[in-house]
Amino acid sequence: MTVYLLRRLFQSLLVLIAMSIIVFVGVYAVGDPVEILISPDADQAERARAIVALGLDRPLWQQYLVFVQNALRGDLGRSFVFNEPALQLILQKMPATMELAFGATIFAILVGLPLGLYAGLHPDSAGAKAIMAGSILGFSLPTFWVGLMLIMVFAVQLGWLPSTGRGETLWGWSFLTANGISHLILPSINLALFKISLVIRLTRSGVRETMLMDYVKFARAKGLSPARVTYVHVFKNILIPVVTVVGLELGSTIAFSVVTESVFAWPGMGKLIIDSINVLDRPVIVAYLMIIVLMFIVINLVVDIMYSVLDPRVRLEGQG
């Protein structure tokens, strides 16, 4: 286990370095923030002072080295717009995005697993066919359109839930208050629809494949109850692919919650990055992307470790 963890940490470091170069060069090669931040009426002397103040007068490789040196000290640069540390801006918005992503993931698991299990155990039933048809809709419908429809029905017409905002918070988290939970429901459902469809299809295919295995047939032949066969022999063995996909989808949910946050005016990292892109606030963009890369690396490592917990047959030494 120790050798495996050290190997994975070294690989993660290489990935982080490579991604930092790609992200930095890609972001800093696009546009000129001075054109947006400085008034068009400014003279050349004022523009020159702004370029020097922002550090844009140096060659790109020097700017990258400065970025790396500062990053090793925990400084990912200062926002051009807010004149605050970019990392501080992102960390201020991170709780909102994290609770939205975790809320969507939990909702996807609670809804997707039972529906997928039912569809796998009763593939020819009308309910299973309806579930699979619904999963197709979950894959097909645009997220922004679904969000607008949720607002129209549940907030405007029925008045059951608030349409936008994060609501009241306690210690920086909205799920700790009733008002915050009411604000969290609609965006979590909207963000979870694609994940629900994915979990349904993954669970169903896993159940259909596992039901044909010899150990399941043997368990039935021993006279075990259908519930024990399902939840002990079938359900346990389909958790590994589900955990893998859900873990990776958690990272993508955090990274791509931009649309949902924009539709529901959710004050998270997604809204911050959209605003930063509009004004070419490069330090914030680079810091955001690097944090997302780090999250993906950590999530992948956690998912790999969970393999051995769910199935002792999986040998971590043989991976990576």
Per cent of the chain over pLDDT 70 is 89
Q: Tell me which residue of 175, 182, 194, 201 sits closest to 108, measured CA to CA.
A: 194
Q: Tell me which residue of 267, 275, 266 sits closest to 163, measured CA to CA.
A: 266
- Asked whether the predicted pLDDT for residue 11 surpasses 70, the reply is yes
Rg (CA), the chain: 24
- The answer to whether 299 touches 315, Cβ cutoff 8 Å, is no
Residue-wise pLDDT tens digits, 180-189: 888 889 999 9
- The answer to whether 174 touches 100, Cβ cutoff 8 Å, is no
Residue-wise pLDDT tens digits, 125-175: 888 889 988 888 888 888 888 889 999 999 888 888 888 888 788 877 888
- The answer to whether 170 touches 180, Cβ cutoff 8 Å, is yes
**Out of 91-105, 221-235, 283-297, least confident range:** 221-235
Q: What is residue 256's three-state secondary structure?
A: coil
- The answer to whether 188 touches 100, Cβ cutoff 8 Å, is yes
Residue 165, token pair as written in the block? 């905002």
Strand residues in the chain grouped as ranges (E): none
- The answer to whether 105 touches 250, Cβ cutoff 8 Å, is yes
Q: What is residue 160's three-state secondary structure?
A: coil
Q: What are phi and psi of 78, to 5 degrees?
A: -110, 140
Question: What gap in Å lies between CA 80 and CA 24, rounded to an integer?
Answer: 16
Residue-wise pLDDT tens digits, 250-280: 877 887 788 888 888 888 888 888 888 887 7
| Contacting residues for 198 by C-beta, under 8 A, at least 6 apart | 108, 112, 139, 245, 249
pLDDT band for position 312 (cuts 50, 70, 90): low
Question: What gap in Å lies between CA 206 and CA 117, rounded to an integer?
Answer: 9
Q: What are phi and psi of 213, to 5 degrees?
A: -70, 155
pLDDT band for position 316 (cuts 50, 70, 90): very low
SS3 content of the chain, % helix, strand, coil (to 5): 75, 0, 25
User: Which single residue is written with the structure tokens 């000290």?
Assistant: 73
Instruction: Please report the pLDDT score of residue 82 as a whole number.
Output: 83
The pTM for the full model equals 0.75
Q: Tell me which residue of 178, 161, 158, 160 sits closest to 169, measured CA to CA.
A: 178
CA angle 10, 13, 14 (to 5 degrees): 90
Q: What is residue 231's three-state secondary structure?
A: helix
